[in-house]
Amino acid sequence: MMADNKEAIKGGEFLIRETEAKDIFIPEEFSEEQKMMAQATQDFVEHEVKPLVERLEKGEYDLGATLLKKAGDLGLLGISIPEEYGGLGMNFNTSILIADVLGAAGSFSTTYGAHTGIGTLPILYYGTEEQKQKYVTKLATGEYVGCYCLTEPDAGSDANSGKSKAVLSSDKSHYVLNGQKMWISNAGYADLMIVFAKIDDDKRLSAFIVERAWDGITMNDEEVKLGIKGSSTRQVFFNDVKIPAENLLSTRENGFKIAVNILNIGRIKLGAGGIGGMKETINLSTQYAKERKQFKQPIANFGAIKYKLATMATKTFVTETLSYRAGQDIDDKTDALVAGGMEKNEAKLKGIAQFAIECSISKVHGSEVLAYIVDEGVQIYGGMGFSEDAPMARAYRDARITKIYEGTNEINRILIVDMLIKRAMKGQLDLMGPAWAVQKELTSVPDFASIDNTVLFAKEKLVIKNLKKAALMVSGGAVKKLEAKLGDEQEILMNVADMLIEIYAAESTLLRVEKLVGMKGEEACAGQIDMAKINLHHAVNIVNNAGKEALFAFSDGDEMRVMLLGLKRFTKIDPWNLKEARRRVANILIENGGYAF
């Protein structure tokens, strides 16, 4: 259900808008149908995927295709594919929920993500009716396995610089494709490939639907990887491959746009796709900490271990919160556009593009939280964490890829700031007004607004409001000072991105818990209240540190002094016993034997 004014919310606007709890979706609001789908996925992971993990890891890659077929039989490959193409027609947020649960499936979550996301969606969103009927129907059931061939040996982050070339035949009946693609997930058993190449001497990429069975496609052996060893990853070579003209996807030179839009979808799913793995790691770590005894007691009794468990749970709760907030915002925007008369596919793409900033935030946040959690998981297991006989070593290796693919975290951080500034320049987001108001506030007497301490999170919301001012001050100051040169000062972009990520995460978490308290009462949400506040303190630290680093980098003299004072004022937070709060959260985990929020 869409809240009253949801369709009015814009991507990136969180920085200048005071969002209310009722305006965000929280995972506790998933419908019975969505929960049933999540349960079916959980059962699939437990009963079908996990028993095959060892064999997959040892190189029986084709089992990935077998599992995809089984997932197809259960409907898991077509969650948000419309029914007319063999899918279940559920909303985008449900597909994020399924990616979340599959996050506990190790390598197979990459196989699944590559197939259902980048392998299927280009045709679903950009294909002709004929292409969709011919291919999406088969991808939705698992009859065909899909893959996505964008990266080349010399074209990774700079994807548009690829050298693969398609030449249109003189009778315009077909293209002849030559080129080399690298790091292609599912390549070993894919039946269908979305291939990006430049036609003739075009400057921009075009996209093609290529069938594996066609002549001229060869592959290298499987890559020997650090992690996700059970997923197939190969180099693919195209040698004079004849592609029928009707297999051009969308229009000539529209490939880069397709690649970017599809990656936006992949990004939020990747961020959320870590959640299942995070929860699994927390469950295993909690159980191990309860069982492992040192100094005549379970290591779970030690404050240092409680700190880890509580932080792991808090970070997971936060990733979950922001991913589903953004996911539902995308759905609501899409629904609003459809209600306004827009064609469904176009509305979906517009909805996703509108929240591209939040998709990048989700990717960076989720992948870095996952990295933190598996690292602490290894640490809680001690020496056993380093052993291939225990589950942490594989989780640790598998997690590492998430910071690299679907746009590295550096590229995503740059995009977060770049998109925000571009939207401000185009007048789509009014950042200038609020940034100017903050500048004026810097030289005025602080306004000590009275706070009603009986209202839940009244103080904390003021902290969020101030953190937004800090980000506006720093980013506005950097734009003013460096203008077009800001793009060359990537360190500052990274600082600003960190501030924005933490603000979105902290605000979302407070609003989720506020809404939850409204549903269940404060007593039932004690752990969640603690986590929201723990995370807020963390956000204040990051915003303060990143803000300082940025100010040191681009300002000096009086200007720097005024802004540093402003930063101090905008990153104030009352002292609160974080140690006790973390212990309370850890004790909930220990009592429940795992993640219980």
Ligand X SMILES: Cc1cc2nc3c(=O)[nH]c(=O)nc-3n(C[C@H](O)[C@H](O)[C@H](O)COP(=O)(O)OP(=O)(O)OC[C@H]3O[C@@H](n4cnc5c(N)ncnc54)[C@H](O)[C@@H]3O)c2cc1C
For 290-346, the DSSP string reads HH-EETTEEGGGSHHHHHHHHHHHHHHHHHHHHHHHHHHHHHHHHHHHHHTT--HHH
Choosing from 65, 149, 349, 494, the residue that interacts with ligand X (CB under 6 A) is 149
**Tally of CB atoms within 10 A around 523:** 8
The answer to whether 141 and 316 have CB atoms below 8 angstroms apart is no
Shortest gap between Cβ of 131 and ligand X (angstroms)? 20
- Of 195 and 282, the one with the shorter C-beta distance to ligand X is 195
Shortest gap between Cβ of 219 and ligand X (angstroms)? 13
- Of 234 and 325, the one with the shorter C-beta distance to ligand X is 234
In the 3-class helix/strand/coil scheme, how is 427-439 assigned residue by residue? CCCCCHHHHHHHH
Candidates 589, 284, 280, 393; CA nearest to 292 is 284
- Of 113 and 476, the one with the shorter C-beta distance to ligand X is 113
Q: Does residue 156 belong to the site contacting ligand X (CB under 6 A)? A: yes
Q: Is 60 part of the annotated catalytic residue set?
A: no
Shortest gap between Cβ of 228 and ligand X (angstroms)? 6
Q: Does residue 369 belong to the site contacting ligand X (CB under 6 A)? A: no
Mask of contacts with ligand X, 322-351, x by CB under 6 A?
------------------------------
The answer to whether 365 and 505 have CB atoms below 8 angstroms apart is yes
Which residues, numbered 178-217, are part of the site for ligand X (CB under 6 A)?
183-185
Shortest gap between Cβ of 407 and ligand X (angstroms)? 6
Shortest gap between Cβ of 22 and ligand X (angstroms)? 38
Candidates 224, 220, 146; CA nearest to 189 is 146
Which residues, numbered 73-132, are part of the site for ligand X (CB under 6 A)?
114
The one catalytic residue among 152, 376, 406, 502: 406
Q: Does residue 544 belong to the site contacting ligand X (CB under 6 A)? A: no
Q: Which among 40-48, 94-102, 177-185, 384-392 is the span making contact with ligand X, rule CB under 6 A? A: 177-185
The answer to whether 259 and 196 have CB atoms below 8 angstroms apart is yes
Q: Which among 150-158, 515-523, 537-545, 564-572 is the span making contact with ligand X, rule CB under 6 A? A: 150-158
Shortest gap between Cβ of 227 and ligand X (angstroms)? 8
Give the three-state DSSP class for 130.
Answer: helix
The whole-angstrom separation of Cα 338 and Cα 336 is 5
Q: HSE-up of 446 (CA within 13 Å, CB side)?
A: 11
Q: Does residue 405 belong to the site contacting ligand X (CB under 6 A)? A: yes
- Of 155 and 470, the one with the shorter C-beta distance to ligand X is 155
Bridge-based pairing of strands 146-149 and 192-199 is parallel
Q: Does residue 150 belong to the site contacting ligand X (CB under 6 A)? A: yes
Find the helix packing angle between 92-102 and 344-354, rounded to 10°. Answer: 60
Q: Does residue 404 belong to the site contacting ligand X (CB under 6 A)? A: yes
Minimal CB distance residue for ligand X: 156
Cα-Cα end-to-end distance for the chain: 23
Mask of contacts with ligand X, 219-248, x by CB under 6 A?
------x--x----x---------------
- Of 188 and 566, the one with the shorter C-beta distance to ligand X is 188
**Tally of CB atoms within 10 A around 208:** 26
Q: Does residue 44 belong to the site contacting ligand X (CB under 6 A)? A: no
Q: Which residues pair with 208 in a beta bridge?
A: 195, 248
Shortest gap between Cβ of 425 and ligand X (angstroms)? 20
Q: Does residue 135 belong to the site contacting ligand X (CB under 6 A)? A: no
The answer to whether 159 and 128 have CB atoms below 8 angstroms apart is no
Q: Does residue 408 belong to the site contacting ligand X (CB under 6 A)? A: yes
Report the amino acid identity of residue 298.
Answer: P
Q: HSE-up of 44 (CA within 13 Å, CB side)?
A: 27
| Site for ligand X, rule CB under 6 A | 114, 147-151, 156-157, 183-185, 225, 228, 233, 401, 404-405, 408, 410-411, 490
Active site residues: 406
